[in-house]
A and B are shown apart, each in its own frame.
Chain A
Amino acid sequence: MKRIIFIIFPVLFTALFPIQLMSQFAPGFVEQCATNSGKDATYLKDFQVVLNAALPDQVPPIARFPLVLSKNNIYRFSICTPGDSPGKAVLQLFDSNKLIFSSYNKDTGEEYNPFNFLCQKTGIYHVFISFREGKEGHTVGILSYVNK
C-alpha cells in the first residue's frame, strides 16, 4: 500500500501543480521587468518565452508574437532574462517579413536592450524572440509606450 502511495504522490502532485512546475519565472518577475522599463514608459504587453535548445542541424527555435503598433508613437522593447536562463535572449522587430531591428548584433557582439522604436505606420508588426546560438532559455520581452 505504501508503495502505491509513493507512486501516486508524485503523479498527483505533478497533475495538481502544472503551472507552478512549468513556470520559469519567479512571482513578480514580469511586473518587475515591466516597471524597470523606465519612468518614461507605460507597460502595454509582455511576451513570455521558454524555448528548448536547438537540435544539431536544426534552425534555432523562435517565438513569434504579432502586435499592432500605431503611427507617431514611440515604443520601447526590452528583454528581461533571469540569471538561471542558459541562453541569452535576442528580440527582433519585423514589419511584415522585413527586419526593422535586432537587440543583438551578431557581427559586432553589441547588445541593445532596451531600444525604442518610432513608429510611422499603423499596422501589424511581429516580435521574434530567440536565444543566441540556439541555446535553451527563458525570458520576458516587454512592450511599453514611451511618454513624449
Chain B
Amino acid sequence: MFRQTVIIFLTALFLFSCHTRKGKESGAEFEVPDSVITAEGLTISSEALEEIVQNVSSPIEMAALIKEIGVPFSTNYLATTDYVDKYNTSFKMAYNLGVFGADLGYLNIYDKSNQVVDYLTAINKLSDGIKVGQFFDFETLKRLATSRESIDSLMYISVNSFNNMDSYLRENNRGHLSALMITGTWVEGMYLVTQVANEKNSPELSDRIGEQKVNLNNLLLILDNYKGHEQVSEIIESLNELKELFDNVEITYEIGEPETVEQGGMIMIVQNEKSVINISEDQLNKIISKTKQIRNKLILV
C-alpha cells in the first residue's frame, strides 16, 4: 500500500511538473537564454513605467474607429506574414509580434476569419520564438476563427493573450521585449489610421492621429529605458523624427465637470474636460508620410 502511494505520488509529480500556465505546452516556462537581457537599471521608477505601459496602444480601438466611419476593409493596410520565418532575432520577433497583433485586431473587428488564420500562425511562431507561446492558445483561436462559432470568444482570447504576454515579459525582466511589442502595435495602428486618413478626409481620424502625440511621448519614455540596446536605440531615433513632427501639433484643454446621463437604461458619464487637437493639413500629411516610412523600414527583414 505504502509503495503504491509513493508510485502514484511520483507519477503525479512527473505529470504536473509539465504543467504550463495556460493553453498549450510548447514554449513552456524555462529560463530564456536571451543574450539581450541586461542588468541596466530603469531610469524611471518601475511603477511609473507600469502606468505608462498599460494599453498605450489598443489595436481594437484604432480598427473600430476606422470601421465606424464607414471605411471598407482592405488587405492593403496589413503587413505581410510571408517573411515571418526570417524574423530571427528576439527584437524582430517581439516587434513584429506587436505588428501582427495590431493586424489581428483589425481583421477581428471586420470579422475576416478566413484571413485571421495566417496571422494567428505568424503570431504563434513569433510568440514561441520569444518564449511566451504558453499564453497564446493557437489551437483554440484557430478553431474559433475557422468555425466562426464565437467572435466574442475569439476577440476575448486574442486580446487577453497579448495582455498576458505583455505582463509576463515585464514581470520576467524582459521589459525591452514588451516595449518592442507595444511599439510594433502602436506603429502598425498608426500606419493603419494614417493610411485611411490619406484616402479619406475625416475630422475624427485627424483628431485620433493628433492625439497620438500623447501616446508617442509615453512610448518614447518607455523605450528610453532600453536605449542601451542598439536596435531599440535605432527605433528611438526613427520615432524621434516622428516626434519632431508631432511637437508642432497643439493640444489644449477645456475644463469642465463630468455629468451623468442615462442612455438606453444605462448610466453614462460624459467627461466635460476636453482636449482640443489643432493639427494642420500640412502637419497631418507629414505625419502620414513619416509614419509610412518608419513602419515600412521596421518591418523589413
A interface with B by C-beta (< 8 Å): 1-2, 5, 9, 12, 16-17, 19, 30-31, 34-35, 42-46, 65-68, 70-74, 93, 95, 100-101, 112, 114-124, 145, 147-148
Say yes or no: B263 contacts A70, CB within 8 Å: no
B42: interface (CB < 8 Å) = no
**Which secondary structure dominates where chain B touches chain A?**
helix
Q: What's the minimum C-beta distance from B207 to chain A, rounded to whole angstroms?
A: 7
- C-alpha gap A12/B266 in the complex (Å): 49
Q: What's the minimum C-beta distance from B167 to chain A, rounded to whole angstroms?
A: 11
Say yes or no: A71 contacts B55, CB within 8 Å: no
Say yes or no: B272 contacts A120, CB within 8 Å: yes
Q: What 7 pairs across the A-B complex have the smallest Cβ distances?
A: A66-B51, A116-B268, A120-B274, A122-B211, A121-B275, A120-B271, A115-B267
Say yes or no: A45 contacts B55, CB within 8 Å: yes
- 4 additional contacts (CB under 8 A) given A5-B6, A66-B50: A68-B58, A71-B274, A120-B275, A124-B52
Say yes or no: B214 contacts A122, CB within 8 Å: yes
Q: What's the minimum C-beta distance from A111 to chain B, rounded to whole angstroms?
A: 10
Residue of A nearest to B57 (CB): A68
Say yes or no: A66 contacts B54, CB within 8 Å: yes
Residue in contact with B153 in the complex, picked from A12, A31, A148, CB distance below 8 Å: A31
Stretch at the interface among B78-86, B90-98, B156-164: B156-164
- C-alpha gap A42/B258 in the complex (Å): 24
Residue of A nearest to B251 (CB): A122
Chain A residues with CB under 8 A of B214: 122-123
Q: A9-B9, A148-B68 are in contact. Are A117 and B21 (CB under 8 A)?
A: no
Q: A31-B153, A43-B155 are in contact. Are A67 and B275 (CB under 8 A)?
A: no
Chain A residues with CB under 8 A of B270: 118, 120
B56: interface (CB < 8 Å) = yes
Say yes or no: B60 contacts A101, CB within 8 Å: no
- C-alpha gap A23/B17 in the complex (Å): 19
Residue of A nearest to B16 (CB): A16
Residue of A nearest to B260 (CB): A101
B64: interface (CB < 8 Å) = yes
Near A by CB (< 8 A), chain B positions 250-280 give 253, 258, 260, 263, 266-275, 277
Q: A1-B2, A145-B61 are in contact. Are A70 and B266 (CB under 8 A)?
A: no
Say yes or no: A68 contacts B56, CB within 8 Å: yes
Say yes or no: A67 contacts B55, CB within 8 Å: yes
- C-alpha gap A148/B207 in the complex (Å): 17
Say yes or no: A5 contacts B5, CB within 8 Å: yes
Q: A1-B2, A42-B64, A71-B207 are in contact. Are A121 and B274 (CB under 8 A)?
A: yes
Residue of B nearest to A36 (CB): B152
- C-alpha gap A67/B53 in the complex (Å): 8
Q: What's the minimum C-beta distance from A128 to chain B, rounded to whole angstroms?
A: 14
B204: interface (CB < 8 Å) = yes
- C-alpha gap A2/B1 in the complex (Å): 11
- C-alpha gap A101/B208 in the complex (Å): 25
- C-alpha gap A35/B13 in the complex (Å): 36
B121: interface (CB < 8 Å) = no
Q: What's the minimum C-beta distance from B108 to chain A, rounded to whole angstroms?
A: 9
Say yes or no: A70 contacts B208, CB within 8 Å: yes
